[in-house]
A and B are shown apart, each in its own frame.
Chain A
Amino acid sequence: MNTKFKTLFVIIAVSLLTACGSSNTPSGNAGAVTLTLAGYSTPAEAYAKIIPLFTAYWKAQKNQDVTFETSYAGSGAQSRAVIGGLDADVVALSLEGDVTNIAKADLIKRDWQAIAPNKGIVSTSIVAFAVRKGNPKNIHDWADLAQPGLEVLTPDPKTSGGAQWNILALYGAALRGKVTGVPANDETAATNFLVSVLKNVTALDKDARSSITNFETGNGDVAITYENEVLLGQQRGQDYEVIIPSSTIKIQTPVAVVDVVSDKHGTTEVADAFVKFLFTKDAQQIFAEYGYRSEDPDVAAATAGQFPAVTDLFTIDDVFGGWKEAKTKYFSDTGIYVQAISEAQK
């Protein structure tokens, strides 16, 4: 009786294991590899088009099949998931800090910004406004967001990387003297301006997508968001308009190979190749189709008509001395944003 049970158990266990094993290597191709990509939510559509190009390229180059597993969620959530054990070979996130956190958890050993082209910044966009069709509230620049009674949407900087870009774009424009009525390099004046805009904010949604969806539902007069989100919304048939302020921040979103994971999988070579591929003209062209401003000079020139030039475009390094400093100064518990939102509700 007992031995019979044991044999039965072993048979079931073995057949289950082999079933699992065979599903991992499709079509019995011994050399096939799987890459797992963990990305933030907005470039999902662009990656869906780039991945087939890469698999064809890799097949031609190395005669090896690559299958992709992809997962898209908020940048911070993805970063925590990877640290918590999500076996991603490649991450594409919206904030440099989210990649840095993975490196701090000892999952990225190499200098990822030195290995990838363009310091790992694969796609860029700018902070812009979405307004209702015909721009009924006459919104053209930052100063217009402070008019009393206007309803403004922006995501919550506590939970959204996009929201942090928004706040820094506003604050940077103010510091650079590009907001009417706010003197340049005057932190008190810039903070006061931030307070007056935050007074108009009716909802701080949890991420950039929820915020734009809320706007699409009909709430708010203006949504501060990524330019590519507005362009993508228009491609999907939304009739809102994009307004580009005279001064705004360049949003830089990084990719990196999580080399500790890819070494374990034996996929570092193909992961590196994939990251490099994202900077080719073919891939950059696809990013441009989905509303991202390309860093590749040729692609940028070819798509210039689609992306109006910004009078005063600045980066986080230019104005804020990089993400690390900006995080503590603006978004910590005692940071400028927290003070401003408290002040705005008094």
Chain B
Amino acid sequence: MTTTTPSLAIKDTPHRAPWGRWGIKSAAFTYLIVLLLIPLSVIFQDGLKDGLVNLWGSISLPIAWAALRLTLWTSALMAVINAVMGTLTAYVLVRYSFPGKSFLNAIVDLPLAIPTLVTGVMLVVLYGPQSIIGGWFKDQLGWQIIFAPPGIILALLFVNFPFVVRAVQPVLESLDRESEEAAATLGAGSARIFWQVTLPALWSSIASGALLSFARAIGEFGAIVIVAGNIPFRSQTAAIYVFGEVESSNRQGASAMSIVMLSLAFVLVLFVDWLRKRGRKERTA
């Protein structure tokens, strides 16, 4: 504690730079290892301690398999809807001006701040079979929203709302409008400009936002446990299945499913990273 005064500038004198860099690096690595790597490896060790055959055995139980399938298709459908509507929302927020725009812009992030359990309760009150809306759907169309897959998708859409919007928005803002104007002077209609000029520049950010929301949806618990009804084969998702296994003292089964969910999310996040890098290259090229 005698001589190391923290330097303000990152570009330091050459003989000090390695120390500063080393310090920052090791702090970041320690943080990463303690907070992420160690807990994650415990899950892996737990799930794999009885070998891969048992891991497969836990996953291939009909109830577990159904829960995983339900999670994947509802999350995928949510990601597609989120991609389309999120892009639209971002487009409107960037390209149009209207009263209340900054208010709307601020609302976008709110789903991240609300406990997802509250989201679930709110959706049950709003769309449950005894509510006006939910009752109408049930009586007129025979559709059950809450305690069924549509409720799961609604909950996922709500909690993952910001991902695509916030991925697309900055790209759209930084987009060079000259090519759009050039297309317009060449006689292209606004729809054609959007499809052929604007959208191609957004693909990688849309995909990365959608995939991130998909990865997060796989593990969503708080909202789903209230909304889904948790009936095996019908409305029980993988995260709820894991909860059930933990509660009934089957840690191996819980960890096995968690490993599958984690691995899926990991592959997705790697893919997102690759998309981002590609997107950056395309934009700078």
Contact = CB atoms under 8 A, between A and B. Distances in A.
Contacts of B232: 341-342, 345
Contacts of B229: 202-204
Contacts of A18: none
Contacts of B225: 206
B248 A158 contact: yes
B230 interface: yes
Interface string A58-74: 00000000000000001
B137 interface: no
B244 interface: yes
Interface of A: 1-2, 5, 74, 76-77, 80, 101, 151, 156, 158-160, 201-206, 210, 214, 217-219, 331, 333, 338, 341-342, 345
Contacts of A218: 128, 130-131
Nearest to A79: B249
B234 A158 contact: no
Given A206-B230, A342-B62, A345-B232, A217 B125 contact: yes
A77 B243 CA distance: 11
B183 interface: no
Given A217-B125, A345-B234, 4 more contacts: A77-B247, A202-B231, A204-B229, A206-B230
A345 B231 contact: yes
Interface residues of B, number: 30
A159 B234 CA distance: 18
B231 A331 contact: no
B230 A205 contact: yes
A217 B243 contact: no
Contacts of A201: 231
8 tightest CB-CB pairs across the interface, nearest first? A158-B244, A218-B130, A345-B233, A203-B229, A159-B247, A204-B230, A158-B248, A202-B147
12 contacts: A1-B2, A76-B247, A76-B249, A80-B249, A159-B247, A203-B230, A217-B125, A217-B130, A219-B147, A333-B253, A342-B62, A342-B232
Nearest to B232: A341
A210 B129 CA distance: 17
A76 B61 CA distance: 23
B248 A203 contact: no
B247 A74 contact: yes
B269 interface: no
B262 interface: no
A59 to B, nearest CB: 39
Given A158-B248, A159-B243, A219-B128, A333 B61 contact: yes
Given A158-B248, A159-B248, A219 B130 contact: yes
A219 B131 CA distance: 9
Contacts of A333: 61, 250, 253
Given A159-B243, A342-B62, A342-B63, A101 B249 contact: yes
A91 B25 CA distance: 47
Interface in B107-137: 124-125, 128-131
B124 A219 contact: yes
A157 B11 CA distance: 61
A341 B230 CA distance: 12
Nearest to B146: A219
A170 to B, nearest CB: 17
B230 A331 contact: no
Contacts of A338: 63
B245 interface: yes
A21 B280 CA distance: 58
B254 to A, nearest CB: 11
A158 B247 contact: yes
Contacts of B1: 2, 5
A156 B244 contact: yes
Contacts of A160: 247
A219 B245 CA distance: 26
Nearest to B229: A203
B239 to A, nearest CB: 12
Contacts of A341: 63, 231-233
Interface in B83-124: 124
Contacts of A158: 244-245, 247-248
A107 B262 CA distance: 34
A342 B129 CA distance: 24
Contacts of B61: 333
A43 B231 CA distance: 27
Contact of B244 (A5, A159, A203, A217): A159
Contacts of B230: 156, 203-206
Contacts of A205: 230
Contacts of B146: 219
Nearest to A341: B232
A214 B128 CA distance: 10
A240 B21 CA distance: 67
A338 B229 CA distance: 16
A203 B147 contact: yes
Contact of B248 (A76, A219, A345): A76
